[in-house]
Amino acid sequence: NLLDNLVKDHDVIVTIEDGIIEGGWGQNIASYLGTSSTRVLNYGVKKAFYDRVNIAGLMRESHLEPELIAADVKQVLGL
């Protein structure tokens, strides 16, 4: 299994949803790896009704900007 092999030599797995975070592949991966020492960071938009939303603000709020994701990964790795 790919996930079983990844946890052997990875400390962090990052998933980025193309939409809503709830119910996405990232949550399935986090659930599957729940008892392993590998951390899973899931990114996506929270389930909500967005009316006339500022996309840049939504991306920032959801930590979907490359710099924010990189900072989160560095923090988890203790860098």
Number of domains in the chain: 1
The pLDDT assigned to 52 comes to 87
**What is the model's pLDDT at position 35?**
86
Query: Which structure tokens are listed for 33?
Result: 């790896």
Integer CA distances (angstroms), 24 to 3, 30, 31, 40, 71, in order: 16, 10, 11, 13, 23
Matching residue, tokens 């990875």 = 10
As a whole number of Å, the end-to-end CA separation of the chain is 29
Which residue type, as a one-letter code, is found at position 9?
D
Structure tokens at 75: 């923090």
pLDDT in tens, 38-60: 999 999 998 888 788 888 998 99
- Please give the pLDDT value at position 28: 93
Q: Which domain holds residue 45?
A: 2-77
Tell me the mean pLDDT in the region 25-49: 90
| pLDDT confidence bin for 76, thresholds 50/70/90 | very high
> CATH number of the domain that 31 lies in?
3.40.50.920
pLDDT at 72: 94
